[in-house]
């Protein structure tokens, strides 16, 4: 099981990124085949960005970045007892459903439902952690962290099994993501608001540049017939 406090898991993140680059998955590779126009002007050799693969990458990046921003807003609202909490939590769940549908569009309804169940669980665990942190309930915080470690294992099993990526490497990426969001909560609770937003931005960069890009690359490589334009 992945441990949120084990920095060695970052090696897993590096491994997945290496697999992505080494696999040669081209998100925006063009298909001009060197053809020329009838008037003799050469077609641009610039890579196309209007491919299905590029669309997938952009969609996952957008949804994952939105997840980080909404989760950060919801946990801050929850910690502060803000009346915005309910609305922010609702928006966060809408994002979760959208992410699950993205998974389902590739792997089917069963995977969509399983992903949504597991994904929602980690949001619940973050709420639990936030509530415990606000009251200084160390036992509650420890329990939430334990549950989050269980989430890392469960979502890594699902995504690793679906995409063919090494589960340990996926766990490294997911654990890093959870750790950054946890830091955002901790910094906010300590009154270090600048540090909280810095951690949020780091989480946003990590989930797009590492997790979303890696998953998109693996999905395209695994299903070339679905992403050939």
Whether the CB-CB separation of 172 and 15 falls below 8 Å is answered with yes
Chain segment 39-56, per-residue pLDDT in tens: 444 444 344 455 888 888
Chain segment 110-159, per-residue pLDDT in tens: 999 999 999 999 999 999 999 999 999 999 999 999 999 999 999 999 99
Question: At residue 171, what are phi and psi to the nearest 5 degrees?
Answer: -60, -35
Q: Report CA 189 to chain centroid distance, whole Å.
A: 24
Whether the CB-CB separation of 220 and 56 falls below 8 Å is answered with yes
* Mean pLDDT per 10-residue segment, the chain (229 residues): 40 33 32 41 45 87 96 95 95 96 92 97 96 95 97 96 94 96 96 98 96 92 81
Domain spans of the chain, in order of start: 58-224
What integer pLDDT is reported at residue 50 of this predicted model?
Answer: 58
Which of 10, 5, 22, 7 minimizes the C-alpha distance to 218?
22
């Amino acid at each position: 099981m992945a441990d949120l406090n084990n920095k060695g898991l970052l090696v897993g993140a590096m491994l997945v990124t290496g697999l992505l680059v080494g696999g040669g998955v081209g998100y925006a590779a063009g298909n001009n085949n060197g053809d020329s126009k009838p008037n003799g002007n050469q077609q641009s050799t610039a890579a196309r960005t209007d491919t299905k693969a590029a669309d997938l990458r952009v969609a996952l990046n957008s949804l994952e970045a939105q997840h980080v921003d909404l989760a950060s807003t919801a946990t801050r609202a929850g910690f502060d007892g803000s009346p915005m909490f309910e609305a922010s939590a609702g928006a966060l769940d809408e994002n979760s459903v959208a992410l699950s549908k993205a998974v389902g569009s590739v792997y089917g309804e069963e995977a969509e439902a399983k992903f949504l169940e597991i994904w929602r669980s980690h949001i619940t665990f973050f709420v639990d952690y936030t509530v415990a942190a606000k009251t200084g309930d160390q036992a509650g915080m420890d329990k939430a962290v334990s549950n989050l470690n269980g989430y890392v294992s469960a979502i890594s099993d699902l995504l690793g099994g679906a995409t063919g990526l090494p589960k340990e490497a996926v766990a490294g990426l997911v654990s890093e993501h959870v750790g950054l969001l946890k830091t955002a909560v901790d910094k906010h609770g300590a009154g270090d608001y600048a540090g909280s937003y810095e951690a949020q931005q780091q989480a946003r960069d990590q989930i797009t540049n590492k997790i979303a890009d890696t998953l998109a690359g693996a999905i395209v490589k695994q299903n070339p017939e679905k992403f050939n334009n």
